[in-house]
Amino acid sequence: MDRIVVTGTGIITSLGAGKVETLRKLRAGERAIGPIRHVQTKHAELPVGEVPYSDEQLKELLHYRSSETITRTSLLGRVAMREALDEAELLTDHGERVVFISGNTVGGMEKSEQYYHDFLTNNDRNEYIALHDCGACTDIMAKEFGGRFDIITTISTACSSAANAIILGANLIKEGRADVAVVGGTECLSKFHINGFNTLMILDKEPCRPFDANRHGLNLGEGAAYLVIESEAHAARRGAKAICALSGYGNACDAFHQTATSPNGEGAFIAMSKALADSGLRPEDIDYINAHGTGTGNNDECEGIAMMRVFGEKVPPVSSTKCYTGHTTSAAGGVESVISILALVHHFIPANLGYKDQIEGHTFTPVDHVVENVELKHILTNSFGFGGNDSSCIFSALDTDNKSVVVMSDNRCYVQSAAQISMQQPLSEAWFEDPIVPTQAFNETIEPNYSPYIAPMAARRMGKLLKRAVATAVNALGAHGMPEAIITGTGLGCIDNTEKFLTSMLDNDEEFLHPTYFMQSTHNTISSQVALHLKCHGYNCTYSHRGTSFDSSLYDALVQMRLGLIRSALVGGQEEMTPAYFDMLGKIGYWKQGAVDTETLRRAEQGGAISGSCSLNMLLETNCDADTLCAVDGMDMLYEPDVEALGATADRLLQRAGLAKEDISAVVMGLSGDCDNDRVYRSFARHYCPQTPIIWYKHIFGESFCASAFGIYVGAVTLHRNLVPAHLLYNRKDNLCNPTHILVYNHFHDKDHSLILLSK
């Protein structure tokens, strides 16, 4: 197919707002790291790359006149998005299928940490409770461009989040799911992650010095950056000017440690090698590397070793631009991609500021001054996150001859196996014949014996959700080989550890903090812990987009299988609920009050659902055997569709599979007993399939941001067992025998929707 090109970019960091100011300061070799001004923390001694605008000034910059509550994360993102969309001439809708994929980890934490005690003790700041999670920040950003996007989702893989957003966007374009993708990331500074990084003892009290023998750590930064990407042919058809090409990319997991890089930089080596292979380029074709280069002892040494493994004795010119902006964490992949594109277009190499002495064992030295008037054809940029989530992207000049080779696979995708831990009997399918019926809104998970899956010494250091994720992963894999990808959905991550760190930080005046709680609070800790346990170096990604977190993970896996990039994937939905967070969400109507029963949930006359913790892993493969649960014959995701668009999408799924509406045996829906939630499902049923049996599952598994994983699971098991038992049927009282095709429909607050077609 035609290559993927970049048609718009936007950026805001401590260097300023927009590409013009960013370019000027990069070429002048001007640092933008200094004292903390906006974050209320006692660690004023730590220099940061803070965006030089208050929230109110950002609103003025955006002409934001709405009374709607908004986070700083979303404000920064909107500034960068607007610049990118404006340059790409996408502010006006001309019928393109546009997807928006944002990388983020902090979410609304900078507001949550300010009002956490209000959340617990009063109702003065309830409007911020729903803004805590990453997906909420993405949704707020999308609202400004109302109706512009067909799909939105959020990736949370710590410091590689934005780079992974670029990778997903490109794959969606190649697979034909999108015409245009808006990709990147946003992150604001917060007291939480300043203290978190400080507990890891990797923050420098002076301006950072990446790749210097005497480096002492990183400086945190904040900012946002987005790219608009599309096929070259599509850009030409709509008259958009291409800036450069996205010629290759790769992701891998180091599978070594939650925060440290392996001594030989294995994950980084694989990611860079994948990017080169994807681009069709040789190592000697790369003219400049914008390195991850954090300034920490471990990263810089190991990234350098990985580059030496890839490029041999001729490592290209290298610099880290985190010495200008600070480490913008989840936004870094977007920020440094835009900086790389500026370097490519304007023919200069940014300086690696602060460098003096070579690291022992390195055969190269970074570029210590700005190099002007240099011919650059291909630039590689690295973004490496906690848990060894390593991603590399290559941007190329337009006068180079790179075509994207796409080998589409016509293999079917199968749910090979699955394992769950929930309020039902763990690691079993006892729920099929004899479910545990909840009688209250807050429900605890039934924990299994973890010793067959995790060594006791390792288990003692792991939070509950991590243990559940590892156990379900190992159980689902069984005798199957190593998966080629591990993809996880989690709306909240390990919220128990997040609460522990946040409470300790607030109650102890930012002292005596436990680094393990911070490490395990990052969303991709779950996926990386599974990879670490399995020693899996394959593709690794985490989606944190509220009620469609699992759906996004499944979508990613299916797209990559269609592109022939992977043949197997371990796809998980992982969520936990604490008493404190249950109470907070209860204040904004998430949960029912008092005792509950199945008939009350079925009637759905009032608001609120019952909670459940979700831990489920399923193995997807392109081959099947006698034990395979079902086939996945299609999937689509939609953002804010009307009921007619949903029906049309369902029709397309069926047509692609050679089926008619009458072939659907049943529809699985996430009916939860919440009147507003269930109204959407009932509307779809009336419009599209009024006579079709409906399967429900949240009355026995509960509601969570990843509860939709159980919808797929229930559909798969019923197809495999040739029976839908009566307790799973919403609109009939007797068993349904011999189902052959099941449509699974999920939505979150009538915004994000998904449709999945399962077949026997």
Active site residue 159: yes
pLDDT recorded at residue 406: 76
Per residue in 692-742, pLDDT (tens digit) is 999 999 999 999 999 999 999 999 999 999 999 999 999 999 999 999 999
Euclidean distance between CA atoms 365 and 216, whole angstroms: 18
Per residue in 556-582, pLDDT (tens digit) is 999 999 999 999 999 999 999 999 999
Q: Which helix (H) or strand (E) holds 166?
A: helix 161-174
* For residue 283, pLDDT beyond 90: yes
pLDDT recorded at residue 92: 82
pTM here is 0.98
The mean per-residue pLDDT over the stretch 412-426 comes to: 97
Assess contact for 409 and 621: CB atoms under 8 A.
Answer: no
The band of 404, judged by pLDDT with boundaries at 50, 70 and 90, is: low
pLDDT recorded at residue 666: 98
The mean per-residue pLDDT over the stretch 340-363 comes to: 98
Long-range pairs for 139-142: beta carbons < 8 A, 24 or more residues apart: 139/546, 139/751, 140/68, 140/70, 140/71, 140/74, 141/74, 141/77, 141/78, 141/81, 141/100, 141/102, 141/186, 142/100, 142/639
Rg of the chain on CA atoms, in Å? 25
Euclidean distance between CA atoms 624 and 415, whole angstroms: 8
Residues paired with 611 in a beta bridge: 703
Task: Please return the burial class of 43, using the count of CB atoms within 10 Å of its CB with bins 0-12, 13-18 and 19+.
Answer: middle
The mean per-residue pLDDT over the stretch 649-666 comes to: 97
Active site residue 699: no
Q: What percent of the chain has pLDDT over 90?
A: 94
Q: Left, alpha or beta for 27 (phi > 0: left; psi -120 to 50: alpha)?
A: alpha
Mean of pLDDT over the chain: 96
Assess contact for 745 and 669: CB atoms under 8 A.
Answer: yes
Per residue in 168-214, pLDDT (tens digit) is 999 999 999 999 999 999 999 999 999 999 999 999 999 999 999 99
pLDDT recorded at residue 2: 84
Assess contact for 136 and 172: CB atoms under 8 A.
Answer: no
Q: What percent of the chain has pLDDT over 70?
A: 99
Catalytic residue among 134, 137, 159, 393: 159
Catalytic residue among 132, 193, 234, 327: 327
The mean per-residue pLDDT over the stretch 408-436 comes to: 95
Residue 636: CA count within 13 A, CB half-sphere: 20
Residue 79: CA count within 13 A, CB half-sphere: 28
Q: Which two tokens stand for residue 467?
A: 């243990």
Cα angle, residue 104 at apex, residues 210 and 322 outer, rounded to 5°: 15
Task: Please return the burial class of 350, using the count of CB atoms within 10 Å of its CB with bins 0-12, 13-18 and 19+.
Answer: buried
Other CB atoms within a 10 A radius of the CB of residue 284 amount to 10
Catalytic residue among 292, 362, 699, 741: 292
Per residue in 19-61, pLDDT (tens digit) is 999 999 999 999 999 999 999 999 989 999 999 999 999 999 9
Among the listed residues 160, 151, 4, 138, the one whose alpha carbon sits nearest the alpha carbon of residue 540: 160
Catalogue all structural domains in the chain, each as residue range(s) with its CATH number: 4-396 (3.40.47.10), 413-759 (3.40.47.10)
Per residue in 514-549, pLDDT (tens digit) is 999 999 999 999 999 999 999 999 999 999 999 999
Active site residue 327: yes
pLDDT recorded at residue 408: 79
